[in-house]
Structure 1
């Protein structure tokens, strides 16, 4: 039994919003209140030294495997990067020996001095020999160089995929900016990290999350191939991953594989399927969210990525299995 005293405890209870002491037994709070009313419990007394204790934070919309990955890439956002020129300098310094690709993330054209997304001509200045991918802050758009376009076979004659858009110049040539499902034309060519590599990154991320008080997370875009996400999280937990994980599998994989089994839905495992993920449309800041009126300064009205019929079908499955649905709509998750 642990007895914590002399602390500033925020309870999230409207009837008793703060406390100064609490008693913990077998991982559960047995008693909480003001220290002067602390019952005569026997146990290990811990002096909180006036420090703040808060309930564990639940992050309801994360992409932890992707986050663990991008933390090893070039951060292309303030306070590190303020311009495309600065981005190119950082990308040139990136060690691509492990992957063979130069990778960056986090740019927002609204925060860059040039007030535009990096194009293939820009990224070509960082490297023509190696493929480059820089992900926008919303995650719905990427910018790539000519080498990446060539690897993906994207040319003037490549049609836009369903639910995606290849940006083109006045001559119809790809600019290097790929929106929504068009991203996958390039992303599918990235080398797949091994299971052990992903688990190692997750363990490092877990320490970072724990340092901020995050105790439970969601994986809002779980997939089966090339490596099953639930398998990865369960292996990571076996090796010390601290957070509970609710995985939301993409609708396509729910339809393709038998995922909604009793074992996969078992919350007592600490890593389980919590819902289904669909994309209704894109992001507001990326101008791919579906809107009735065009975005200011252009004719874009967004990109519809999933039909109404698919949304209703997924909702029926979630109701049947007692799980949730998450539809990414305008950059938000519902």
Structure 2
């Protein structure tokens, strides 16, 4: 009797109770997802459990899962969570609380905004978003243009592309900038006729000023992350490839991952210019169990940007003779960075905009692949904006992913023809050429350079027009994407570029239940209306993270 009781008691200890898992079922939707075959599947019902997709199908699933928690989608449109393959999360969050100069039309307008913003403030005044191409006189500004409005506090305003800053005299004084100050390699100090610095510093010369601005604390970075999270979730973005993080942000991300408090999925690239790069690489790659944080790549800068004439070109700028832009790293230095990255098992993702930069980066990748390997790490070129037509096939040959931002084309289409000639524009923003050769095109926005709204990028990708439907037939329309291609670039190919195509990017069995509900059918709506798409709900791992407030 005692033996029997003992056996029964032991059995009750080792046999766990049967727990009935709860299914959730969303029905009465028009849903779209890509399948592994490449087909675009349409469905009306989605089932998920424990944060992962169980099945998509028609309304018969209601009978198959009678005890599921049911949600009526009320004829909304359901898509996989959107992936922005190139953004700057903390920069976006900081911008939301700094002076926003996007779409300003003159130096005077900026000055008035600056005066209002600086009222009752102390310390450094920071802003971003100016673009001299939008002004009546399309020339770089000067420090004296800012001194008129603010002269007793240091002011630093970053150009919209992040590759030039505009400082007032106080900021230059605090940084000990004078006529004898030399620009570092990979940078340029714009000068007045008397050789004094004008107040504009390009690419690596930015740091002559920026190193004097107080560094962000962990609390400030956490605050910026929270602000960015609220904003991006409202836009249906469930995963971001954060293009270049410093040591402090790396520490914050890992702590937030440990605390399970990251607002969305982040594929973070370590900034190759951070002095602590080797320390971060030595810590190894990082993959959070629930895929909210992945750290397995570095971000390298090869050149500057087209708008500030820092993009490195093979031939002179059409509007600035004897100037070919700036290489921020030599081919030899690029090879050292790639070798260092590959040694630790990290992918190398490289910013390259001009055709000379893209060629140099491809040469560097090819050289390192021959010496040490690394070809299968899904290395990327970020932007790949102006590529010599002979170099485009090399992306496929070397397994380099073009990580491109469709909205850049429609933002640049008035400026690019001034900087370049027609011959060089043949390989510019050449999305369709890349896709036809079999390249995975990972699409993003480059926020806060551009707005973070993916549907703006989707619209640019399929139309090659601005939001006024200009030019009428689209700028180099032969490079436009189909809606299916654009959808893939912002979902499954974005996942592929982060080694996550078996986890996110589509609504297939076993993947995370990351999805959004929107107010219109992006596959059937008029092209002119696509950019107006509104996100109504955002879900990550089967949990609702955002719901649009309906105003009365």
* TM-score normalised by length of structure 1: 0.91
The alignment status of 1:66 with 2:60, answered yes or no, reads no
The alignment status of 1:179 with 2:197, answered yes or no, reads no
SS at match of 1:283: coil
Per residue, is there more strand in 1 or in 2? 1
Query: What's the counterpart of residue 22 of structure 1?
Result: 46
How far is 1:319 from its partner? 3.2
- Distance in 2 (CA, whole Å) between partners of 1:327 and 1:25 is 38
Dislocated runs of 4+, deviation >6 Å: none
Of stretches 96-105 and 120-129 in structure 1, the one that deviates more from structure 2 is 96-105
- Distance in 2 (CA, whole Å) between partners of 1:315 and 1:261 is 15
**Match of residue 106, structure 1, among 97, 121, 129:** 129
Query: What's the counterpart of residue 162 of structure 1?
Result: 185
Cα pair 1:91 1:103 within 8 Å, conserved: no
Q: Which runs of 5+ in 2 are unaligned?
A: 1-22, 355-381, 384-401, 403-552
Cα pair 2:83 2:239 within 8 Å, conserved: yes
SS at match of 1:305: coil
How far is 1:84 from its partner? 0.9
Query: What's the counterpart of residue 244 of structure 1?
Result: 265
Query: What's the counterpart of residue 284 of structure 1?
Result: 306
Query: What's the counterpart of residue 332 of structure 2?
Result: 309
Cα-to-partner distance string for 1:239-275 (whole Å, 9 max, x where unaligned): 7332122221122447753323566423436334231
Counterparts of residues 222-233 of structure 1 (less than 5 Å): 222-224=245-247, 228-233=248-253
Query: What's the counterpart of residue 53 of structure 1?
Result: 78
Query: What's the counterpart of residue 549 of structure 2?
Result: none
Cα-to-partner distance string for 1:212-241 (whole Å, 9 max, x where unaligned): 1111112212122xxx21111233453733
Of stretches 97-106 and 5-14 in structure 1, the one that deviates more from structure 2 is 97-106
RMSD: 2.1
Query: What's the counterpart of residue 83 of structure 1?
Result: 106
Query: What's the counterpart of residue 16 of structure 2?
Result: none
The alignment status of 1:147 with 2:147, answered yes or no, reads no
Structure 1's 307 and 137: CA in aligned 2 closer, same or farther, altered over 3 A? same
Query: What's the counterpart of residue 480 of structure 2?
Result: none
How far is 1:110 from its partner? 1.0
Structure 1's 165 and 72: CA in aligned 2 closer, same or farther, altered over 3 A? same
Structure 1's 109 and 30: CA in aligned 2 closer, same or farther, altered over 3 A? same
How far is 1:311 from its partner? 1.4
- Distance in 1 (CA, whole Å) between partners of 2:122 and 2:345 is 40
How far is 1:36 from its partner? 3.8
Cα pair 2:285 2:345 within 8 Å, conserved: no
Of stretches 60-69 and 31-40 in structure 1, the one that deviates more from structure 2 is 31-40
Query: What's the counterpart of residue 351 of structure 2?
Result: 328
The alignment status of 1:193 with 2:216, answered yes or no, reads yes
Per residue, is there more helix in 1 or in 2? 2
Cα pair 1:104 1:135 within 8 Å, conserved: yes
Query: What's the counterpart of residue 296 of structure 2?
Result: 274
- Distance in 1 (CA, whole Å) between partners of 2:149 and 2:283 is 50
Q: Which runs of 5+ in 1 are unaligned?
A: none
- Distance in 1 (CA, whole Å) between partners of 2:135 and 2:273 is 36
How far is 1:39 from its partner? 5.0
- Distance in 2 (CA, whole Å) between partners of 1:241 and 1:251 is 23
- Distance in 1 (CA, whole Å) between partners of 2:230 and 2:32 is 23
SS at match of 2:75: coil
- Distance in 1 (CA, whole Å) between partners of 2:74 and 2:277 is 54
Which has the higher relative contact order, 1 or 2, with Cα contacts under 8 A spaced 6 or more apart?
Answer: 2
Cα pair 1:84 1:113 within 8 Å, conserved: no
Structure 1's 329 and 249: CA in aligned 2 closer, same or farther, altered over 3 A? same
The number of equivalent residue pairs is 329
